[in-house]
């Protein structure tokens, strides 16, 4: 007979209470923890079982914030605003003049516009625009630096206006408020009706944010290292893209033959029309047309999607946001490749050249009309008609089945039809 382990000092020789184990304490923390609606926020539990835990690393690539807590705040009132409008679209002219005039006269803000906007002949004949034309500040793309000069961005048009805003700011981007006045409008959640109230709410800091990650793309030329040693090194192409970078075969009739590396390890060779490397924001653009999945913009990831691969088993993949991808023309490729960044700056990749792609530390802070979840699913439904089909009828609504049972056969139904005839 085994003696029970009792505490002699306890009254009645009751069994000694066991100390809480590590697992018990972790389970208690989990029960008391109120989880947010976000699934990709950092886990509050850093210990796994009695022995395992996450190693603390001071050299982390990035910190993932809970998207549900991402709200806009101004630590000082915004004074300057950049207004970007869709070009060559008459329907945007009237909203553009209304917005700019209201920002200047009512909000007393300094308004920047592109110099090409001032040269629009349709605006020159607008009487309302003439009264504010001299109060506008202008800039020219590629010549004037807007860094640290703009507090707030308003886009009037389609998704292209947001992509243009991303192109203008190759480092930190001011908060972007995008109005839907274009064709598709997947990235432009605001309607222009009642714009005064909506802009006022944003200027007062009452808005949710979606931090849309971007890709940093660097082209390394074959002879760049030699030029660097000789003191004649040119600045490599270094761009940030919001949607995707595309490598394709260009005008060549041959298949693209592209080598893909991930953190220095050769992953695969792409034989097909090309390759799309996209952000989660870009997953609903060219990538989805090539068969990729749609990813919420708050998910930290990079998508790799082949374009018409000559293989039945080459499926799109998703890799962590912190990795570095290297894309180069295979040594035995019959042709060169071409690369474009958000549909711009198209250039040729030769044998020996490489393209380095990783997630940038500078996202685009896109202002939500409602919140991150509602805006994205509304765009899926309205712009892409996601999962739209006719509803299946209830059995009671099917007239051809009301007089039949599950035991009826085709022969019995045919005989009944002949008798009726």
Name the residues annotated as catalytic.
159
Using DSSP bridges, classify how beta strands 176-180 and 354-359 pair: parallel, antiparallel or unpaired.
unpaired
- Residue 330 CB partners (closer than 8 Å, separation 6+): 257, 258, 259, 269
In the three-class reduction of DSSP (H, G, I as helix; E, B as strand; rest coil), residue 128 is classed as helix
Residue 341: name the closest of 211, 224, 212, 247 by CA: 247
Measured CA to CA, the distance from residue 51 to residue 240 in angstroms comes to: 42
Residues 225, 236: contact at Cβ < 8 Å?
A: no
Residues 241, 225: contact at Cβ < 8 Å?
A: no
Half-sphere exposure in the Cβ direction for 128 (13 Å, CA): 12
Please count the other Cβ atoms lying within 10 Å of the Cβ belonging to residue 110: 17
Measured CA to CA, the distance from residue 35 to residue 68 in angstroms comes to: 11
- Would you state the torsion angle of the CA atoms of residues 356, 357, 359, 365, taken in this order, to the nearest 10 degrees? 120
Bridge-partner residues for 261, per DSSP?
266, 326
Specify the residue for token string 């009792």.
6
Exposed, middle or buried, 314 (CB in 10 Å: 0-12/13-18/19+)? middle
Phi-psi region of 354 (alpha: psi -120 to 50; beta: other; left: phi over 0): beta
Which tokens is 63 given?
């910190």
Residues 150, 80: contact at Cβ < 8 Å?
A: yes
- Would you state the torsion angle of the CA atoms of residues 243, 248, 250, 256, taken in this order, to the nearest 10 degrees? 180
Number of residues that this document lists for the chain: 421
In the three-class reduction of DSSP (H, G, I as helix; E, B as strand; rest coil), residue 96 is classed as helix
């Amino acid at each position: 007979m085994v003696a029970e382990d009792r505490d002699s000092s306890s009254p009645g020789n009751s069994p000694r209470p066991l100390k809480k184990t590590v697992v018990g304490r972790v389970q208690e923390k989990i029960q008391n923890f109120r989880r947010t609606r976000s699934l990709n926020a950092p886990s509050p539990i850093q210990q796994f079982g009695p022995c395992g835990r996450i190693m603390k690393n001071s050299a982390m690539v990035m910190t993932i914030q809970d998207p549900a807590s991402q709200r806009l705040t101004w630590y000082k009132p915004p004074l300057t605003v950049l207004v970007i409008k869709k070009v060559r679209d008459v329907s945007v002219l009237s909203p553009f003049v209304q917005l700019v005039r209201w920002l200047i006269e009512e909000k007393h803000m300094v308004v920047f516009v592109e110099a090409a906007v001032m040269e629009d002949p349709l605006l020159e004949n607008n009487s309302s625009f003439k009264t504010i034309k001299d109060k506008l500040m202008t800039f020219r793309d590629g010549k004037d630096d807007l860094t640290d000069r703009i507090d707030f961005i308003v886009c009037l048009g389609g998704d292209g206006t947001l992509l243009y805003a991303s192109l203008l700011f190759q480092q930190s981007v001011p908060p972007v408020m995008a109005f839907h006045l274009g064709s598709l409008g997947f990235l432009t959640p605001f309607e222009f009706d009642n714009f005064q109230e909506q802009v006022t709410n944003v200027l007062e800091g009452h808005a949710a944010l979606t931090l849309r990650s971007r890709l940093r793309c660097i082209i390394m030329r074959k002879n760049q290292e030699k030029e660097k040693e000789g003191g004649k090194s040119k600045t490599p192409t270094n761009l940030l893209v919001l949607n995707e970078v595309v490598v394709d075969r260009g005008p060549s009739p041959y298949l693209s033959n592209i080598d893909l590396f991930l953190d220095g390890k050769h992953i695969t060779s792409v034989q097909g029309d090309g390759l799309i490397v996209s952000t989660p924001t870009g997953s609903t653009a060219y990538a989805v047309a090539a068969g990729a999945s749609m990813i919420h913009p708050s998910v930290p990831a990079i998508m790799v999607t082949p374009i018409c691969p000559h293989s039945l088993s080459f499926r799109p993949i998703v890799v962590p946001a912190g990795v570095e991808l290297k894309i180069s023309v295979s040594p035995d490729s019959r042709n060169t490749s071409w690369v474009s960044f958000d549909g711009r700056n198209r250039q040729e990749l030769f044998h020996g050249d490489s393209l380095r792609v990783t997630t940038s530390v500078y996202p685009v802070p896109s202002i939500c009309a409602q919140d991150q979840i509602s805006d994205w699913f509304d765009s899926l439904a309205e712009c892409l008609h996601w999962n739209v089909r006719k509803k299946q009828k209830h059995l009671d609504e099917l007239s051809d089945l009301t007089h039949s049972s599950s035991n009826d056969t085709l022969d019995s139904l045919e005989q009944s039809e002949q008798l009726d005839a």
